[in-house]
Structure 1
């Protein structure tokens, strides 16, 4: 089926996803029948109190964790039930990751870190796209530096460029500004928002920060492993109000 301009294309979705850790007395239900559709070329934030299941949901969506019940799709790929080879292909070609800890290799330069996913997949960067990504993150004069020679904000921008350079269907960002000061955090968030608006990138971000969530197009709120609310075109204030209400309810 070809998508027309009026159709919403779904980049990733879960259908009645349950995730249970442990068994018997030690059983913990992290996700309870979560069904959600994440739109392509949109910036979606996932929020909720500690233990609400937000990181678990992202890990299941990204194929980093298996589901107990239900189904996960990224684009047309059914992630549920993929073997190791299929999951490896998925991570190499369809998803990108940005983590709180940057996860850069200390012995590689910024340029080598950015190119790493392509090198592992045996692919060469598209020169035009490479230049676009490097200029967008503003790192051209830092490409020869190792992570230890870069500030935290610059390291996270390297991680953002690394996630973008392979043009994945979805980029998953787990508290990407958690280790940054507010100015560096705003730079990274602005870059993520621009990559959605200018390049049609799809981003799914877990955050606890209402200000970070205000950069998104849509915020999904979890509590006790279930989706309990959502906001479109959020502001930091509307996000904060929703969190307070959810925390009061639970």
Structure 2
């Protein structure tokens, strides 16, 4: 790690990792014009932990998430989800893995406007013809606080409520990991705080592994751990972050 790592809080005893990347490299372009978006990144994400990925613009944080999730190919290195090396899977196998073992929350809510909140939450399971556990559905609805809004269309929900529907949808299938890419980017500060609280609660109360890309130190402070990238390399990490410690790290990385 960097010279800043010595100031980080002591690392807790790690839980078994759910996602492991080893020497991950991603190069774009060719014929003398290449960009090394990731440069031998090795990182793991523990079960039931909420981790934020941060770094200056162009540091490779979104590329890292896309490679971890099998949304982009890697130039070299490996990514394992549980016992599966996803970097060796074919397109069809990757599609099934993303459907059955990974949850996604994006900046855009991606809700179908003609379906109620409950129907949007249940839609991926129904498309996959997968049985829904009523007890898990009830627990997730409780965690995200949507009990009184399940029968409303998205147009009758606030932005924060719509993103909570998206979070519930991502959690319902009990995925091994949920990837959240700037999940509060379209929300005001109050709604953003609600969604971040639900992601944190899903890790603590449901044992969900959550990995979030964000540029916001306040958002990162909801996580258990923050890892920092610069120029495609993993250069620092902080456990038990606060907005102030995260901002301090970012300022040092950009100086």
State the TM-score, normalized to the length of structure 1: 0.95
Partner residue of 1:139 out of 137, 141, 146: 146
2:85 paired with 1:78: yes
1:125-136 alignment runs, 5 A limit? 125-136=132-143
**After the TM superposition, which of the residue ranges 116-125 and 235-244 deviates more from structure 2?**
116-125
**In structure 2, how many angstroms separate the alpha carbons of the residues matched to 1:198 and 1:154?**
20
Report the counterpart of residue 116 of structure 1 in structure 2.
Answer: 123
Partner residue of 2:207 out of 194, 197, 200: 200
**In structure 2, how many angstroms separate the alpha carbons of the residues matched to 1:231 and 1:141?**
38
Report the counterpart of residue 228 of structure 2 in structure 1.
Answer: 221
**In structure 2, how many angstroms separate the alpha carbons of the residues matched to 1:222 and 1:100?**
21
Q: Equivalent residue of 1:140, what SS?
A: coil
Runs of 4+ in 1 over 3 A off after TM superposition: none
2:178 paired with 1:171: yes
Q: CA deviation at 1:7?
A: 6.2
Q: Equivalent residue of 2:148, what SS?
A: helix
2:47 paired with 1:40: yes
**In structure 2, how many angstroms separate the alpha carbons of the residues matched to 1:29 and 1:107?**
43
Q: CA deviation at 1:107?
A: 2.2
Post-superposition Cα deviations, 1:35-61, rounded to whole Å, max 9, x if no partner, equal 111111100000001110000000000
**In structure 1, how many angstroms separate the alpha carbons of the residues matched to 2:151 and 2:14?**
43
**In structure 1, how many angstroms separate the alpha carbons of the residues matched to 2:166 and 2:159?**
11
In structure 2, runs of 5+ residues without a counterpart are 1-12
Report the counterpart of residue 245 of structure 1 in structure 2.
Answer: 252
2:197 paired with 1:190: yes
RMSD: 1.1
2:26 paired with 1:19: yes
Partner residue of 1:102 out of 106, 109, 131: 109
In structure 1, runs of 5+ residues without a counterpart are 1-5
**In structure 1, how many angstroms separate the alpha carbons of the residues matched to 2:53 and 2:31?**
29
Report the counterpart of residue 5 of structure 2 in structure 1.
Answer: none
**In structure 1, how many angstroms separate the alpha carbons of the residues matched to 2:208 and 2:195?**
15
Q: CA deviation at 1:21?
A: 1.0
Q: CA deviation at 1:109?
A: 1.5
**In structure 2, how many angstroms separate the alpha carbons of the residues matched to 1:104 and 1:24?**
41
Report the counterpart of residue 155 of structure 1 in structure 2.
Answer: 162
Q: Equivalent residue of 2:78, what SS?
A: strand
Count of paired positions:
243
State the TM-score, normalized to the length of structure 2: 0.93
Q: CA deviation at 1:141?
A: 1.9
Q: Equivalent residue of 1:188, what SS?
A: helix
Q: Equivalent residue of 1:187, what SS?
A: helix
Report the counterpart of residue 3 of structure 1 in structure 2.
Answer: none
